[in-house]
Each structure stands twice: as structure tokens, then as C-alpha cells.
């Protein structure tokens, strides 16, 4: 930013300085040329022809420098076939004449005809009254005074623009330093976070950087949430592996006869838990992509067909919106619905009813899963989501089903609530997942 500011200041000052130099130089030269033109008009208006055909002045010019030799201002009159009529200041020199035609405008140009004395020359050709001779009137002045004035102007411009450039650059540096001050405060706040252990920036900052702070706080909250999810997954896995490891330890200690079968059975159980939690870890990564789009009806039908084989005596009914789609990966939706429908079939009385998009909302798709079992008491509807929590220990299971359903749903921004089914009288599970109708198809 400093380099860009310095570059633009330099470019603009050079362009402005060049334009101002041209303007002031032209004004000074024009004023100088006006003086030469004034003297030229005075010469022409004062010149007359005497009876012998020579030029004379009926009045003298007022500038005494024309009478001083080599004074730096000169005039000369030259006619065809006539001797030159020079000013006394020329002394033994004469001015060269370009020979312009009569009637033309005044011609002004620079000349180097005198050594070490550059001249500014004004020349005009006229016919005087009562004379057929073409006369050339020439007025010249040394450029020393003109060049000195131009040099002084340029020196003033150089120093002025140099000081202006330094001042502008200093202001740009100050502006950048003050403007970037909030970012330095953000950096200091981040350093303080690392030393104090806080996980957000609460210091009031200017509006220009407040969006950055909000995004940073959101990133920190997201990281903290992911860390908590990782701890939760580790706890779930540890709890799931604890029972099989205990069984294996007891069997090995007692030197049970069926130790081999027990080892194989429990090892398979542990393998399923490991595979399951690895899949859950991948779900967190897939959630970040945010482009999942899964039809709910297809997933529910696939789960129903699988659960029917385990519980052939249970009646399954699925109703609702066949076109509903949610922003969740198919594998994770199958796992959620599989846990809910299997639990309904396992603990219900023989009837399971699923309703898709039961409460149409703009952003969420609500799925109901009901059964005709004994349900869950209201006092236990929160603790049942804890890892390993089971109300019916007489049936096989790990106690991870509802905990996994809640965790995966929350990973995708959804939620799970428990209630009582008005139609079947058993448990009612209300699953809310983000809708995916606005997302492109996969």
C-alpha cells in the first residue's frame, strides 16, 4: 500500500509539475515576446523616410539600453539596396534577417547568432509611406533574463513539489497506519486469546473490521464445536468398546471353553463400532461440503425393507411428501432413519408409522416416526440421548442408537425431539433436517 501510494504520488506530481512548468514558462515567454512586440510597434510607428530615401525616427525610443553597447537589447532596420540602420547597442555587429514577406504577422524566434548570447528575435517586413523599398525591422533581446526567470520558476516548482510529495507520502503513511490500526488490535486480541484461553473476541472494534471479527468468532466457535464432537465420538467409541473388551477379559481370565467363539463375536462387535464411528467422522467432513441432496422417501423405503427382514411381524407404514429432499448424505440419512425405525420396531407393539414432511417449513423437513409401544416417560426423554442409556435392558443393544441419531442430525444442523404419539399411543420421534430443494442435484 505504501509503494502504490508513493508510485501514484510520484506519477501525479510529475504530470502536474510538467503541466504547470509548461504553463508558467509559456506565460513568461509570452510576456517577454509582448515586450519585443511593443518595441517593434514603436519602431515601425516612429520610422519615416527622409528626402534622400533613408530611414529616420521622428522621435527617439525611451529605453536607454539601446544606446549602450552590448546592453543585451538591440534593434536594426534593413532595406533592399540600403545600408543597415542599427541601434548603438549593436556596436560593430549586425542582426541576421530571415527575410519574411511584407504583410505577414510578426515573427518571433530564438537565435544563436551571437556567441555566448542566445537571443530572442522579433522580425517584421513592412513598406513605409512614400517608399517602394521593403524594410525589415528586427528587435532582439538576450535570453539571459528570460532563462533566469524560467530557471527560478522551475527551482520553485521543484522544491514545492518535492515538499508536497513528501507531505502527501507522510499523510499516506499516517493514513495507512491509522487505518490498519484495527487490524493490529485484532492481532493483539488473538495473541491475548492464545495466552488467556478465551475462544472469542469481545473487544469493541470499528465497523470496518467488525465483519472480520464476527467471522473469526464464528470460525473459533466452529472449531470448538468440532473439538467437542470429536470428544463425543471418542467417548461413544470408548463406551461401545468397553463391554466387548470386558467380556473378552472375563472369558480369557476364566479360560472359558467357548473363548474362540466369544473372541470372534466380540471382535466383530468392536469392528462394527469402529466402522460406525469412522463413518461418523467422515460425516463431519462431508457436512463441510454442503452440496448433499438426498430424497427422504427412497431412504425410508430402503430402511423399511431392511428392518422388515429383522422384524417380519411388524407392520410398517410410510406416508407424506414423496419429493422431499434434505441436505444430508444418503449414508447418514439411512443411519438416522435405520436407528429410529429399528428402535420403533424393537420396542413397539407391532406397528411403525413414518410421516415425511409432516410439518412443511421453508428451511426444514420434519419427519415423524411413531410406534405403538409403551413409549418413554417424559422425565427420561432427555437422558435417553446419553451414551449407553437404555430403558429396556432385556433386549440386545448398545444404547448408542438415539445418541448417534442426535449427533448426526446436529452435525447437519438438524434436531431430534421425543414425544407421545396421539394415533398409536407409543413414542413419537420428531426429526428435523435442513431442506435441500434449492441445492443442485448430485
How far is 420 from 372, CA to CA, in rounded Å? Answer: 10
- Per-residue pLDDT tens over the stretch 82-125: 888 888 888 888 888 887 665 567 888 989 888 888 999 999 88
> For the CA atoms of the chain, what is the radius of gyration?
51
* Strands of the 351-356 sheet, one edge to the other: 315-320, 351-356, 364-371, 427-434, 415-420
- Tell me the percentage of the chain whose pLDDT exceeds 70: 90
Does some domain include residue 42? yes
pLDDT value at 389 more than 60: no
Cell 507522510 maps to which residue?
Answer: 170
For residues 15 and 61, state if they share a domain.
yes
Closest CA to 56 of 80, 74, 35, 82: 82
For residues 261 and 306, state if they share a domain.
no
Does some domain include residue 405? yes
- What beta strand segments (E) does 128-252 contain? 134-142
What mean pLDDT comes out for the span 128-136? 82
For residues 257 and 337, state if they share a domain.
no
For residues 342 and 430, state if they share a domain.
yes
**The domain that contains 102 carries what CATH number?**
3.30.450
Tell me which H or E stretch contains 127: strand 119-127
At residue 132, the 3 state secondary structure works out as coil
For residues 413 and 327, state if they share a domain.
yes
- Per-residue pLDDT tens over the stretch 352-380: 999 998 777 778 899 999 998 888 887 77
Confidence tier at 160 by pLDDT (50, 70, 90): very high
Bridge pairing between strands 325-326 and 294-295: antiparallel
Does some domain include residue 440? no
Cell of 191: 495473541
| CB atoms inside a 10 Å sphere around CB 331 | 16
Beta bridge partners of 419: 428
Cell 539600453 maps to which residue?
Answer: 65
Does some domain include residue 341? yes
For residues 280 and 297, state if they share a domain.
no
Q: DSSP string spanning 213-236?
A: HHHHHHHHHHHHHHHHHHHHHHHH
For residues 281 and 346, state if they share a domain.
no
Quick one: pLDDT at residue 186? 83
For residues 262 and 376, state if they share a domain.
no
Confirm if 380 and 344 have CB atoms less than 8 A apart: no
For residues 144 and 98, state if they share a domain.
yes
- Per-residue pLDDT tens over the stretch 227-270: 787 787 777 778 778 888 888 888 888 888 888 888 888 888 78
Quick one: pLDDT at residue 298? 93
Computed from CA positions of residues 45, 97, 102, 81, in that sequence, does the dihedral angle turn out positive or negative? positive
Torsion angle in degrees (nearest 10) through CA of 57, 62, 68, 71: -110
The tally of domains found in the chain comes to: 3
Mean pLDDT of the chain: 83
Write out the residue range of the structural domain in which residue 280 sits: 227-287
Amino acid at each position: 500500500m505504501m509503494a502504490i501510494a508513493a508510485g501514484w504520488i510520484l506519477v501525479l506530481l510529475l504530470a502536474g509539475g510538467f503541466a504547470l512548468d509548461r504553463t508558467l514558462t509559456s506565460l513568461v515567454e509570452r510576456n517577454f515576446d509582448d515586450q519585443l512586440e511593443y518595441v517593434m510597434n514603436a519602431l515601425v510607428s516612429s520610422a519615416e523616410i527622409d528626402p534622400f530615401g533613408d530611414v529616420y525616427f521622428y522621435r527617439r525610443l525611451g529605453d536607454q539600453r539601446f544606446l549602450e553597447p552590448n546592453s543585451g537589447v538591440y534593434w536594426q532596420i534593413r532595406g533592399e539596396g540600403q545600408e543597415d540602420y542599427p541601434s548603438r547597442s549593436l556596436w560593430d555587429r549586425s542582426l541576421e534577417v530571415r527575410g519574411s514577406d511584407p504583410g505577414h504577422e510578426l515573427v518571433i524566434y530564438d537565435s544563436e547568432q551571437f556567441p555566448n548570447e542566445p537571443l530572442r528575435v522579433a522580425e517584421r517586413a513592412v513598406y513605409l509611406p512614400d517608399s517602394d523599398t521593403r524594410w525589415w525591422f528586427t528587435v532582439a533581446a538576450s535570453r539571459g533574463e528570460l532563462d533566469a526567470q524560467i530557471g527560478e520558476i522551475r527551482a520553485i516548482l521543484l522544491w514545492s513539489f518535492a515538499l508536497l510529495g513528501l507531505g502527501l507520502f507522510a499523510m499516506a503513511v499516517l493514513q495507512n497506519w491509522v487505518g490498519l490500526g484495527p487490524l493490529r488490535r485484532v492481532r493483539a486480541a488473538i495473541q491475548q486469546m492464545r495466552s488467556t484461553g478465551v475462544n472469542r473476541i469481545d473487544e469493541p472494534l470499528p465497523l470496518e473490521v467488525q465483519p472480520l471479527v464476527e467471522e473469526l468468532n464464528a470460525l473459533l466457535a466452529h472449531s470448538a464445536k468440532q473439538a467437542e464432537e470429536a470428544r463425543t465420538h471418542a467417548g461413544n467409541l470408548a463406551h461401545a468398546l468397553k463391554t466387548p473388551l470386558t467380556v473378552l477379559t472375563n472369558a480369557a481370565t476364566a479360560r472359558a471353553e467357548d473363548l474362540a467363539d466369544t473372541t470372534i463375536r466380540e471382535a466383530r462387535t468392536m469392528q462394527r463400532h469402529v466402522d460406525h464411528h469412522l463413518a461418523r467422522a467422515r460425516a463431519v467432513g462431508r457436512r463441510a461440503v454442503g452440496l448433499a441432496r438426498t430424497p427422504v422417501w427412497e431412504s425410508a423405503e430402503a430402511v423399511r425393507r431392511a428392518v422388515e427382514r429383522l422384524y417380519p411381524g411388524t407392520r410398517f407404514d410410510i406416508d407424506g411428501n414423496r419429493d422431499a429432499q434434505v441436505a444430508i448424505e444418503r449414508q447418514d440419512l439411512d443411519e438416522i432413519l435405520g436407528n429410529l425405525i429399528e428402535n420403533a420396531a424393537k420396542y413397539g407393539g407391532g406397528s411403525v408409522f413414518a410421516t415425511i414432511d409432516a410439518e412443511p417449513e421453508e428451511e426444514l423437513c420434519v419427519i415423524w416416526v411413531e410406534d405403538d409401544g409403551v413409549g418413554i416417560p417424559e422425565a427420561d426423554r432427555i437422558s435417553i440421548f446419553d451414551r449407553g442409556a437404555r430403558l429396556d435392558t432385556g433386549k440386545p443393544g448398545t444404547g448408542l442408537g438415539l445418541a448417534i441419531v442426535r449427533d448426526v442430525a446436529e452435525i447437519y444442523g438438524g434436531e431430534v425431539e421425543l414425544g407421545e404419539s396421539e394415533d398409536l399411543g407409543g413414542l413419537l420421534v420428531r426429526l428435523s433436517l435442513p431442506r435441500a430443494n434449492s441445492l443442485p442435484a448430485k
